[in-house]
Structure 1
Amino acid sequence: MPPVNQQRRAALADAAIAIVAQEGTHRLSHRTVDETAEVPRGTTSNYFRSRDALLEATVARVVELHFAWIGGLRAQHEGELNRTTLQGILTSVLQEAVTTHRDRYRAMLELLLESTRRPELHEALTRIFSGAFELVQEAHRAEGVEPTEEEVHLLRVCYIGVLFGYVVMPETMTVLNAGDTAGALIDAVLAKI
């Protein structure tokens, strides 16, 4: 069997993300990915033999892109991670997630809903949030503070809520941009920790 073309595989998964972002998981199929990626019919099924495999690859690609992006942000702040830096990172992440990377995070929210019916998808997607909150714990520990599970939960709910609100209902979120909203909420939560 010839080696898998990883670039083609990633491009197909990117096309799947675009479909899920615009039309939901119900429209995700081998044919729609072939059409969106502008590849010969049957290409997607050569890479992902079943719809479940295609869904799993879409989730994996969302997670991969998220961690590559966050890894780059973390590298910019190497050695200076504290609560102030953390707030700046989380605020920036949320602002970019609802602007620059809007389709990716719309797809992620669609896939999270799908994962309530498909537990095999759930663990990979929740890694996005657990990874973010490892960063929260690391920043607090750098200042000699150990956040409780409840405090981390408050940040998680804040993060997901802002993300959902600005991705799903952007027209109602005109008073502040996502970064300012996130900054105010994160500041309020961090003040309790």
Structure 2
Amino acid sequence: MRQNLARRAALVDAAIEVLAREGARGLTFRAVDAEAEVPKGTASNYFANRDDLLNQAGGRIYERLRPDDATMKAMFTGPATAARTAELVRDVVERVTAFRTGYLALLELRLEATRRPELRALLTERVSEDVEANVANHLASGLPGDADAIRMIYLAANWLVVERLTLPDVFPKEQAAELITALVERLLQDSP
């Protein structure tokens, strides 16, 4: 397999775009080559097979969704209140929905993972790590809420992202923000 890391990343990013637009059935090496605007046959030189491409796309989405250092630092500044927690959750929802194709591709990968054990294992590991990192970072920040409350917020926020990306008129942006605030306040009302 080829080792040009920039080209490989461009191909995986192209695969994410194809997944989001065409679904898992539309993800072919030819479609990735076309999306990346590279010569036909390029993707097949970089990936052993379609499963390899799917797995790498799953990993790459999480790389691109990972918050930058400034975003992480901001979590540890400001008042340790439910209102600040709601603000941070709203920021996460906005950041994730801004990478629309990535999240839609991730939904496609999750569906595909029901049929592909290797992809299911990869996504299970990545999502579990993400959840536990979110819980650990939240607890370390001193913000109110225990691990269970943070997991519940994670679940609710993820489904809100799905609604915002697939049926945006169900919960318009302003209403979504209000719902996040209400959710966080109710879950954290008894927290220190």
TM-score by length of 1: 0.82
What TM-score comes out, normalization by structure 2 length? 0.82
With over 3 angstroms needed to count, the CA separation of the structure-2 counterparts of 1:39 and 1:7, relative to structure 1, is same
Residue from 88, 98, 111 that aligns with 1:113: 111
Give the counterpart letter for 1:111 in structure 2: L
CA distance in structure 1 between the partners assigned to 2:76 and 2:142 by the alignment: 15
Give CA-to-partner distance per residue, 1:147-188, whole Å, 9 cap, x none.
254x34422321221111111111322373544433332332
Question: Which string of whole-angstrom CA distances, capped at 9 and with x for unpartnered residues, describes residues 101-148 of structure 1?
Answer: 111111111111211222322344342464245333443355497725
Question: Using a 3 Å threshold, how does the CA distance of structure 1 residues 168 and 76 change in structure 2: closer, same or farther?
Answer: same
Deviation at 1:70, TM superposition (A): 5.1
Distance between the aligned counterparts of 1:39 and 1:17, measured in 2? 16
Gaps spanning 5+ residues in structure 1: where? none
Partner secondary structure for residue 172 of structure 2? coil
**CA 1:72–1:7: 2 relative to 1, 3 Å:** farther
The one-letter code matched in structure 2 to 1:176 is: E
1:33: Cα distance to partner? 0.1
Greater mean alpha carbon deviation, residues 29-38 or residues 111-120:
111-120
The answer to whether 1:88 aligns with 2:87 is: yes
In the alignment, the residues of structure 2 paired with residue 45 and residue 76 of structure 1 have an alpha-carbon distance, to the nearest angstrom, of 41
Distance 1:79 1:185, change over 3 A: closer
Distance 1:134 1:57, change over 3 A: closer
Task: Tell me the equivalent position of 2:139.
Answer: 140
CA distance in 2 between partners of 1:175 and 1:81 (Å): 25
Q: Name structure 2 gaps, 5 residues minimum.
A: none
**8 Å Cα contact 2:17/2:105 also seen in 1:** yes
SS state of the match for residue 41, structure 1? coil
Q: Which residue in the other structure is 1:53 paired with?
A: 52
How is 1:9-48 mapped onto 2 (pairs within 5 angstroms)? 9-48=8-47
Query: Contact (CA 8 Å) 2:135, 2:151: kept in 1 or not?
Result: no
3-state SS of paired residue (2:86): helix
Of the three residues 154, 162, 165, the one matched with 2:160 is 162
CA distance in 1, matches of 2:142, 2:159: 27
Q: How many residues align?
A: 189
Q: Secondary structure at the match of 2:115?
A: coil
